[in-house]
Structure 1
């Protein structure tokens, strides 16, 4: 079993094509590519964590449309960390878990990492190597050495594993306020 992460899929959201300069000719093409990229990577017994903003726009109110997208998602277990655009029709889908915030053990050291749609400046176990994984900011910011943006806009519209996140974190700058909020 492998754990996969993604954020800010914005299924059905026409305006995200323009707002984030997504390279798709239509929202239908975007949705198809996002699902295809997940299906290429995620296997039958894997976990999928969507760290907020599953869908948005007028289609995010259409329960039939949302269920159709949800049913195409691969993996044995699907989890939603609630984002600022996730409304009742999305929350009502048959997720295995729905939470505004989640701590999850992953990685070679099985540290307790924090999943939250919004970027944070500190979190539980931050001084012990735990990463914070977020979305919300699309392609505006990759994150910092210990807090990494998992939005599809900065991961080639595909989900990632913890090792991918940890490798990117090593190349990101230290958060400018880290020593102020987490003094030694």
Structure 2
């Protein structure tokens, strides 16, 4: 079993293509590529974590459309971390879990990492090399040393594993406010 993470899929959302410079002809093309990319990575026994903004736009209000997209998602279990664009019809889908913030054990040491749609400066276990995974900001910011954007816009429209996220975290700068919120903490190292 592997945990796969992604955010800001915005299934069905025509306008996100222009807003974020996504390389798709239209929302149908985008939906197809995102689903294909999920299937290329997520195995039948894996968990898929959508870290907010599953779908948006007029189609996100249509139960038939949403059920059709949801039914194409790979993995044994599907989890939603609620984002600002996750409307009631999305919340009615048969997710295995729905939360605004959750801690997930992952990585070689089985450490708890925090998932929230919004970037954070600190969280539980932040002083103990715990990472935070977020979305929301699309292609505007990749994150900081211990808080990493898992959105499709900064991962070539693919889901990612903990190992991918930890590797990227090492290349990111320390959040300039880390010392403001964690006065006596060491500099974060993933």
| Aligned match of 2:159 | 159
| Aligned match of 2:102 | 102
| Aligned match of 1:17 | 17
Alignment of 1:30-45 (within 5 A): 30-45=30-45
**Cα offset for 1:46?**
0.3
| Aligned match of 1:126 | 126
Alignment of 1:26-105 (within 5 A): 26-105=26-105
**Cα offset for 1:111?**
1.1
Return the TM-score normalized by structure 2.
0.96
Tell me how far apart the structure 1 counterparts of residues 21 and 88 of structure 2 sit (CA, whole Å). 27
**Cα offset for 1:109?**
1.3
Q: Which runs of 4+ in 1 moved over 2 A?
A: none
Tell me how far apart the structure 2 counterparts of residues 27 and 87 of structure 1 sit (CA, whole Å). 18
**Cα offset for 1:143?**
0.1
| Aligned match of 2:188 | none
Tell me how far apart the structure 2 counterparts of residues 36 and 14 of structure 1 sit (CA, whole Å). 18
**1:72 match: secondary structure:** coil
Q: Which blocks of at least 5 consecutive residues in structure 1 are unaligned?
A: none
Cα deviation code 1:113-150 (max 9, x no counterpart):
00000001100000001000000000000000000000
**Cα offset for 1:110?**
1.1
Tell me how far apart the structure 1 counterparts of residues 128 and 99 of structure 2 sit (CA, whole Å). 23
Tell me how far apart the structure 2 counterparts of residues 2 and 77 of structure 1 sit (CA, whole Å). 11
Tell me how far apart the structure 2 counterparts of residues 153 and 96 of structure 1 sit (CA, whole Å). 25
| Aligned match of 2:116 | 116
**1:59 match: secondary structure:** helix
